[in-house]
């Protein structure tokens, strides 16, 4: 299972929506994922396989963190384009 933390400013709205979309995209493509939301500060103490956020927050993560950037918290097409290749790669490396 790939553990993902989605990140936004407060860890409530946008990151929750993004986590739901990623879970749906992964399920549709047969990839075992657990995505859950977090605010930026709480996320820094976590150790998932991948953090997913928008560019604004991605730039604030330390370089040693595995961070993927999506162009939207809500647009399923853009999220799929941005995240699916990364999920497939992570899935292969775990499998």
Predicted pLDDT of residue 62: 93
Q: Please compute the mean of the pLDDT values over residues 25-41 and round it to a whole number.
A: 97
> Is-contact 86 50, C-beta < 8 A?
yes
Average pLDDT across the chain, whole number: 95
- Side by side, which strands form the sheet with 2-8? 33-39, 2-8, 50-53, 67-69
Residue-wise pLDDT tens digits, 65-78: 999 999 999 999 99
For the chain, what are the domain ranges? 2-94
Place 17 in a pLDDT band, splitting at 50, 70 and 90. Answer: very high
User: What phi-psi label fits residue 11: left (phi over 0), alpha (psi between -120 and 50 degrees) or beta?
Assistant: left
> Is-contact 7 39, C-beta < 8 A?
yes
pLDDT at 50 over 80: yes
Superfamily classification of domain 2-94: Response regulator (3.40.50.2300)
Alpha-carbon torsion (55, 31, 88, 51), positive or negative: positive
Alpha-carbon distances of 13 from 8, 36, 52, rounded to whole Å: 8, 12, 14
Predicted pLDDT of residue 10: 87
């Amino acid at each position: 299972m790939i553990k993902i933390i989605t990140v936004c400013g407060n860890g409530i709205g946008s990151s929750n929506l993004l986590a739901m979309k990623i879970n749906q995209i992964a399920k549709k493509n047969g990839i075992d994922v657990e995505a859950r939301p977090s605010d930026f500060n709480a996320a820094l103490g976590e150790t998932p396989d991948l953090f997913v956020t928008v560019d604004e927050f991605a730039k604030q993560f330390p370089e040693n963190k595995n961070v993927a950037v999506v162009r939207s918290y809500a647009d399923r097409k853009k999220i799929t384009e941005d995240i699916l290749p990364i999920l497939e790669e992570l899935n292969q490396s775990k499998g």
